[in-house]
Amino acid sequence: MKKIFLSAIFFLFFQNVFCQNVLLKYNGSGSYVYIERTDVRRYDNGKYTGLVSREVRSFIAPTSVPSGGKISDRYYDGSFFIDEATKRNSREVNLGINGAVPSSFKISSDGILTMLVDNGYPSFRSFPAFTNQRISIGDKWQAKAERVVDPLNKGIFTKLPILVEYTYLKDELFHGEEVYVFSAQWATRYGISYWDFAGDKDLKSAQGSHKATMYVSKKSGNALVVRDMVDETFIYNDGNIYSFKGSISMFTEYPPAYDKNKLIPALQRVASVSEKEIKEIFEKPVNESSWIESEKKSSGSIEKNDFESGANSRRNNSYAEKKIAKNENQTYGAKNHPQKKKDSADEIQSKISAGKNSSSNSKSEKKVIVENTAAGIRLTMQNLNFKPDSSELLPGENERLDQIAQVLKEVPDQMFLVEGHTASVGYEKGEMKLSVERANSVANALIQRGIPREKFICKGSGGTKPIADNSTQEGKAKNRRVEITILE
């Protein structure tokens, strides 16, 4: 009896010391690269048609919590690049800056991902998701997730709700980082009790199975590696049946850390500020949602939902943009003043570019603004000078570009996000196109100054992220800018 009692005590002691319960939590991280690689065999109506290889590479950067957002949630902006070819390497994928698909989302502490700007990516959402109970090795839990599919690459995305069963397998070191090792399995079920009415209307049903193993960072809660063995079939209304068997692998990679103090001399030159001011910038991250508050004050009462997606995922037709359009000149198609003649593409470009040189001689406006953001140190070039109706930079920008190149050369291991912005004059498509072209133009100018091409990620935001009042020429000049962020 005594031996049994002592054995029981020893077992409880061993369990408490060596098998401690853990509470899983998503803590978030800085910028990261997320890669999803699909290698499957395709069968059309039961006949093998070949191997399908696809890679989606994305660059994810944190953003500030927007007004009304939860401080405990983590907000992110993403740029997704899709490689449809079978024999292209990752270097070529990195260069596909013109094909970037924007995305914006938030992740709560339990791993639940909520899309704010949804263009189909990421395709796995709320995966992994965590239980709110403490668990030990061997424990299981279930959580809802979502997968977005486009089996035939039609550009029409269908959402599939999934219920995932997780099992806590063990603890391990992965590339020097402590991780949890989980297994996950779920079934593909579509067209029985659920339909995505915004998805592919030709997709009748889907079924299949998934079995995955994942390594999840104990520090951040990010899934560092996931390998999913998939066997699923999609049935279309025309009677065709497509099956896919193989693997989907997901990876998370982080930019290397760097010493910001190395940047101080170069930043002093580019921004014409003191060392003390640069260090103060390092210590005080900028609130990227502050422009929202200024828009609220200048635009009167605005519904909270118009801004719930944050500074980096603003709705295309928000109240503020409509107010700006209303106050524009008649030729901009303002409300109650319809144009008699539809503008040509050249005329639209002219209006977007209008006034950009109105105050270009101001010395203060030729400086570069340095800010510390959640994604990294950001350099902003305001009131850029381009040739009329084009994205070609004028020679007057050479000095600023030379100085910025010197800053970037101090951190050769980092990636650089180049984001173009325009003033908002009511032509969203034209503004978006021009902002992308101008981001690419600045990146190409820096490449000519010795920065490796593969270090750049380029995107455009058009006029959707104003930092000043679009109703004045001065405000428009500030909104016409290119931002370069040293991702960390």
**Tens digits of residue pLDDT in 352-405:** 444 434 444 444 455 799 999 888 899 999 888 887 667 888 888 899 999 999
pLDDT given for residue 68 in this prediction: 86
For residue 461, give the amino acid letter: S
Which residues are CB-neighbours of 341 under 8 A, at least 6 positions away?
Answer: none
Higher pLDDT, 470 or 252: 252
The pLDDT, as a whole number, for residue 140 is: 97
- CA–CA distance, 194 with 192 (Å, rounded to integer): 6
To the question of pTM greater than 0.75 for the whole model, the response is no
Helix (H) or strand (E) holding 268: helix 264-271
Q: Residue 55 is encoded by which pair of tokens? A: 């890679």
pLDDT at residue number 22: 92
Using a 10 angstrom Cβ sphere, with 0-12 exposed, 13-18 middle and 19 or more buried, the burial of residue 374 is: buried
Q: What would the pLDDT profile of 322-332 be if each residue is shown by its tens digit?
A: 333 333 333 33
Asked if residue 315 has pLDDT above 50, the reply is no
Query: Which of the listed ranges 9-23, 204-218, 352-366, 461-475 does the model predict with the highest average pLDDT?
Result: 204-218
Examine the pLDDT at 341 and tell me if it is beyond 90: no
Provide CB contacts within 8 A for 86, sequence distance 6+.
51, 53
Each residue of 218-239: pLDDT tens digit?
999 999 999 999 999 999 999 9
Closest CA relative to residue 480, chosen from 433, 417, 428, 438: 438
Q: In the Cβ-directed half-sphere of 148, how many Cα atoms lie within 13 Å?
A: 18
Given a cut of 50, whether residue 301 has pLDDT beyond it is no
pLDDT band at residue 472, thresholds of 50, 70 and 90?
confident
Question: Does 419 score more than 50 pLDDT?
Answer: yes
Q: Which of 193, 145, 191 is nearest to 165 (CA)?
A: 145
Q: For residue 401, give both structure tokens.
A: 């570009």
| 303: pLDDT strictly greater than 80 | no
Query: First CA to last CA across the chain, in angstroms?
Result: 60
Mean residue pLDDT of the chain comes to 79
Residue 293, classed as helix, strand or coil, is helix
